[in-house]
Amino acid sequence: MTYEGEFGDHEDEVQYENTYITSPEGYGAEQKFKIADVKAVIEDVLHDRLDGQEYDPRKASTTSKEICSFVLERVKQLGYKRYKLVVEVTYSEKKGQAVRVGSHCLWNPKTDNFSSASLETADQFCCCTVFGLYYE
Amino acid sequence: MDIPAAGLDKADIETTVREAVGSTLGKSTFIHNKVDGWIAKVMETCLKRLAQSAKQYKYVVSCQIMQNAGAGSCVTSTYSWDPRTDDCITVDWQNDHILCIVSVYWLAV
């Protein structure tokens, strides 16, 4: 088992400051984190990347990093300008083991949300969760 | 609202997480109908401790419990945030029967 994390996106040097607009609707109705849209993106990336593939332990680390970064880029393209995003991917081989993934958050339930999707094939499964946290 | 200074103490959070997981799972074997309770307990313990710091952060705690069956597994995360104020830590813990991975993310308000 390996785990690796990637630190934040340093390509964007723009630094956002607080604007104190307390809800994303202040920027437009389309700016609120939409669970269904994000879920569709995650499912799309998972199917693109994993359909027809077998689990390869030598490439698993790269595959999970690619899924992470593809999902992050696609969710950013949905245009949530005032949201901080966290993407977490669990990618495992299937050997009959039981798995449970859960999360708890301390946030503002009116503005923040999450979306998740998973994909299972004959020899692998992948679960991806995107958390969107509004930055006032 | 000022940006929270100096973030959170990673070593402190890692200790909290390890204590929460160790006290919950200890030398347990994998018991299916207890897993939900274990996950909830670990995350609540971590969040309670984080909330006590009373700093201006939002927190996300993610916990995975897996049977230790020799399967290969990767947990990866990536983020789009302010690296001056936001950060994360991932702790993995295992015994002969259980693998537990806890990730804690903190993001400034």
Q: How confident is the model at residue A93 (pLDDT cuts 50, 70, 90)?
A: very high
Structural domain range at position A47? 21-134
- What is the dihedral sign for C-alpha A121, A42, B104, B87? positive
The answer as to whether A10 is a domain residue is no
Q: How confident is the model at residue A1 (pLDDT cuts 50, 70, 90)?
A: very low
**Model's pTM, two decimal places?**
0.85
pLDDT digits (tens, 9 = 90+) for A27-80: 666 678 899 999 999 999 999 999 988 999 999 999 999 999 999 999 999 988
ipTM of the complex: 0.87
Helix (H) or strand (E) holding B13: helix B10-25
CA B9 to chain centre: 14
Residues of A in contact with B63 (CB under 8 A): 101-103
- Quote the tokens at residue A127: 């679960």
The answer as to whether A15 is a domain residue is no
Beta bridge partners of A2: B74
Distances (CA, A) of B59 to A15, A116, A124, B13, B105: 21, 18, 30, 12, 6
pLDDT digits (tens, 9 = 90+) for B52-67: 887 889 999 999 999 9
For tokens 């259980």, what's the residue?
A: B98
For B76, which of A85, A89, A107 is closest by C-beta distance?
A: A89
The answer as to whether A107 is a domain residue is yes
pLDDT digits (tens, 9 = 90+) for B9-22: 889 899 999 999 99
Q: Which is more confident, A132 or B27?
A: A132
The Cα A71–Cα A90 span in angstroms is 13
Supply angle C-alpha A40, A125, B96, rounded to 5: 140
Complete domains list, chain B, with CATH:
10-108 (3.30.1140.40)
- Quote the tokens at residue A56: 């390869």
**A102 and B43 in contact by Cβ < 8 A?**
yes
Specify the pLDDT at position B56.
86
Mean pLDDT of all residues in B23-31: 88
Q: How many structural domains compose chain A? A: 1
The answer to whether A85 faces chain B, any CB pair under 8 Å, is yes
Q: Does B2 have pLDDT greater than 50?
A: no
The Cα A122–Cα A133 span in angstroms is 34
Asked which of A71-75, A125-129, B71-75 is least confident by mean pLDDT, the reply is B71-75
Read off the CATH number of the domain in which A129 is found. Answer: 3.30.1140.40
Distances (CA, A) of B22 to B15, B53, B69, B80, B90: 10, 22, 20, 31, 15
The answer as to whether A1 is a domain residue is no
**What 3-state DSSP class applies to A20?**
coil
Specify the pLDDT at position B35.
92
**B107 and A86 in contact by Cβ < 8 A?**
yes
Specify the pLDDT at position A2.
44
Residue A120 φ/ψ, nearest 5 degrees: -125, 130
